[in-house]
Amino acid sequence: MVAMKDASSCVMPPREAAAFIAESAKDVKILPDGVEKLAHHLADVMGKNKHKVNENQLPDFNPKTADRAAVDWVFFIDTLNFSFWSEDERRAFTVRHRGRDLTGYFSLCAAVNRSLEAGVPLTDPAYYSTLTLEKLREHLRGEDGGEMPMMQERLANIREAGSVLVEKFSGSFLTCVERSNKSASCLLRLILDNFPSYRDETTYVGRRVALWKRAQILVADIWLCCEGKGHGEFHDIDTLTMFADYRIPQALVYFGVLEYSQELLDLLLKGHLFQSGDRKEVEIRGASIWAVELVLSKLRALLQTEGAAGVHVNAVMVDFYLWDLIKAKTAEGSSQLPFHHIRCIYY
């Protein structure tokens, strides 16, 4: 992935940054045996078509047609796609929609769709660029008066993003997609240059590093929503890395790919609240990106050996699979692994 221009010109992009962070890390290790184990697991699952990307992610929430409205829906969702964990999971923020109680990321999707079905043009940049906090709270309300975390920050994100789209991109994120000329890296550059809330960057060991979780997942979500065709056709989708959040590291620990120092593990078990840019937090995220790169390299070699070289795999597919898996394991109680807690707009 090429370095970004303008605001990001001196920043190490995620793949390069991840290698640097993993090599320098003091509290997170990547274990070769775990890389091997996960690669073999993924070769069995993906090489034999036992799993389809996004099959477990309640696809009925996603737009049914890959048009302008769908692209604007994805952009709106991903501009708000951060910090859904609850201090007390027994009282998690919940949205009831079509007979189901949804939490986490899906509570956002449910709340947005509920408003759209009620005739509110919530995903129209012209509407949300001037939205008030009171109205946003009404649109994203939970059951029993519950409220999503960081509502002030969510409002700031969408008002800023909506204003940029109205002023520079004809009032739709589709214009950005069209200007990318079917290039994921070009669309990523447009996002980072024009939407400040997506610039997930920090300083680590004296170097400016980028992780770009939401910016990359926005490109990937357009790709997935459009099934890699039309607006979602990107010839370089494999340039994206995995999306460094708090769930994928949990999955990598589950498979023995990552190992934490005792000091870090103690903090996680205590529910320590990290700050964005804390050294340990950056090491968890950076090492996760590099670990997936190592897994991918091994996975592709295994598929070649097993006669499945034609099977397309990339970091996006691995990320979505691991996210689905660890959510399911956590929900069923078979994984009690801690994850790092943080309140920030980047994930």
Q: Kindly list the catalytic residues.
A: 245
Q: How far is residue 81 CA from its own chain's centroid? A: 7
Which pair of tokens denotes residue 134?
């009171």
The three-point CA angle 329-198-8 to 5° equals 125
CB contact set of 335 (below 8 Å; sequence gap of 6+): 250, 254, 326, 329
DSSP annotation of 26 reads S
Looking at the DSSP assignment, which residues form a beta bridge with residue 29?
259
Helices 213-225, 68-79: inter-axial angle, 10-degree rounding = 150
Question: What gap in Å lies between CA 269 and CA 267, rounded to an integer?
Answer: 5
Tell me the residue type at 339: F
- Give the list of residues 6+ apart from residue 109 with CB closer than 8 angstroms, or none: 58, 61, 77, 102
Strand pairing class (100-103; 341-342): unpaired
Report the alpha-carbon distance of residue 268 to residue 263 in Å, rounded.
Answer: 9
Handedness of CA 143, 338, 207, 8 (dihedral sign): negative
Angle at 345 between CA 193 and CA 211, to 5 degrees: 60
Reference 216, options 38, 15, 44, 49; nearest CA is 15
3-state secondary structure of 260: strand
Token reading at 201: 């960057």
Question: What SS3 state is found at 343?
Answer: coil
